[in-house]
Amino acid sequence: MHAPVRPVSRLSWSTLAALGLLLSACGGGAGNDGGATAGATPASTVLALNSVELAQTHVVPPAGRSFTTADGKTHSLNLIANRAALLMVEPARAGGTLTVEAVLAGASLGSMSLNPPAQLPATDNGMPPYSTSKHSVLLPKEWLQSGVALKISRGGASSLSALSVVGGLQLRLHTQPLFFFGANRTLASAQSFDMDAALVADYAQQIPVAGLAAATLADLSFNDVVLAPNGSQPAQAVSSYAEARAARNNDGFTLMAQMLGLMSEMRSVTANNDRHLNVAYWAPMSLRDPVSGKIIAMGGGLSGVGSGVGDGDAGNYGGIFVHEMGHAYSMGHAGEMYTAGTYPYAGGSLAGSAWGYDAIRKQLLSPLMPALPCNASGRQLDAAGHCYRQDPMQGGGGDYPKNAGYRWSMFADYSSAYMQAWMNERIVYDPAAGAPASPFTKWSAGDGKYIDAGTAVSQLQRDMQGARQVVTAVGNVALGDASLNRLSATAPGLGNLPPSFDPSSQADWDRIKASYPNYCSDAGCDYTLRATFADGSTQNVLLPKGYHLRGSNTVNPDSTNALNAASFLRYAVNFSAAKRLLRLDLYRTEFGAKPAYSALPAASFGMAIASWNAG
């Protein structure tokens, strides 16, 4: 049996009331909400309030909401900096107009009048109102800062509520369209691969971020896909979804898993080099069926929990997208988490979750479904027989009627708290930050602000050039079967340019030794990729990929076993798009994981083991 959720208030109302008691003069004002005897100088009195709440993704007290799950762990959902919030206040005595003033370090940020209860935002789907006695107003994002307190007043009486605010992440979401077996945008015209402004705004409401910037990367297309060895089967090329399933015991997730491996390489030190940064990836997959010639669906998606990457059926950014990205932001399946004692609400539902809020539609969101009777199979019910929604991480993607104006069902408050913790661990990268500002910052709870995180990232990240136009080369090597080596390139698109090194240049080896001594230490630097451009120039890039034991020049014995993952590797490399790319060649250049830091003449690279030519 699971322990109930215990909301924890960090500041008692008596403490907050005491903070708001301003004794400006003697006499008058005996607890009458601001009334004063004629001719006397009134004293400020405490405004009695039944509740103060704020809503961003969900309705929470000013100090946030904490949850203790059955496993004894605690998570908190706090207000997010730099995101507008709906303030709702219920005074102990009705009547009159309430005002709110934001105060930071003794200075006023401004004041606003609250709307009367009749103007409280409506509930989604025409459901009963959240309250008939709460005054409300949407606070500007500039008021949501660490250290801010809200002074709520009526007449001469006031009460002060301190806000608990955490970092407001500016998340960058990159869409990487993937096309297979002859699929292209024309065949997949029913799908959208770009997040327009409306979609960006909607998704920013769905998740605990202060802002969202979306970008679509250059398409990647595959006539076939080489499946990595899995311990019992060697690498194998497949040219249809049916072949991929058959090759891996009828596993419908086979292609998705392979592409997660590729997307990991897109984040590697030779490509975008953005692991742990404020970047997430969605890779919508479009597959052509060779029999019908039409686009077919795989029926789902896949993500590594906490990886920041998800893939699956394109689906126009629908339920698969929002579910897989929930995994990418660290959530598991809510029902399984409940069983394990790591999710507080029965069956992965919203039974017990706070209400949500959508600032675009100006609606409060009930955790209940509107229809009666509801399909109660596997669902939690309230006393009137209404079904509670399921979290999108437990099959709740379709819990809004199609005509309700929402793309997705809301997450539980606990899920938002869980994802908020992941967001606050991201290092924010701003390549446009001018000196002396650091391009890398991270939220510090102790400081209540984003602080310099330059020492928390690698030297390769500190030295990369961000937000450039790049061409990305992607490929794989199968050590035991050169016929399975593949190499291709994208059209120009957005990306980062990390430092690269030419193994034929002694100066570059000296740079590696001095500034990047661990570049080859993982499995060796055993391959070099050469790019040839339209002007006749070339660029050699030493790959930190190989088949050696870590930190050694001894060959990994597993690399000779065709069934072992060590015999197969994928890679991705970004080149500047300033010059038109004509050709790519991959060479085997065995420097090992403990190189001698000595240049190898380019003429000694030998024969290319994989090549690509621009069409």
Q: 126 in helix, strand or coil? A: helix
Up-side HSE of residue 247: CA atoms within 13 Å toward CB? 22
Q: How far apart are CA 542 and CA 602, in angstroms?
A: 12
Up-side HSE of residue 270: CA atoms within 13 Å toward CB? 25
Q: How far apart are CA 401 and CA 387, in angstroms?
A: 14
Q: Which residues contact 132 (CB under 8 A, 6 or more apart)?
A: 117, 120
The three-point CA angle 235-239-243 to 5° equals 75
Q: Which residues contact 3 (CB under 8 A, 6 or more apart)?
A: 68, 69, 70, 344
Q: How far is CA 572 from CA 273, 512, 541, in A?
A: 10, 20, 11
Q: β-pairing, 279-288 with 178-180?
A: parallel
Q: How far apart are CA 601 and CA 608, in angstroms?
A: 15
Residue 336 designated active-site: no
Q: 93 in helix, strand or coil? A: coil
Of 142, 243, 324, 336, which residue is the catalytic one?
A: 324
Q: 313 has which bridge partners?
A: 285
| DSSP, res 58 | B
Q: How far is CA 134 from CA 64, 95, 117, 186, 434, in A?
A: 19, 11, 5, 52, 45
Q: How far apart are CA 117 and CA 100, in angstroms?
A: 15
Q: How far apart are CA 520 and CA 543, in angstroms?
A: 8
Are the C-beta atoms of 550 and 544 separated by less than 8 Å? no
End-to-end CA distance of the chain: 62
| DSSP, res 70 | T
Q: How many helices (H) and strands (E) does the chain have?
A: 9, 37
- Residue identified by tokens 């869980």 is 418
Q: Which residues contact 291 (CB under 8 A, 6 or more apart)?
A: none
Least Cα distance to 391 among 383, 374, 406, 379 occurs for 379
E strands present in 249-293: 279-288
Active-site annotation, residues: 324
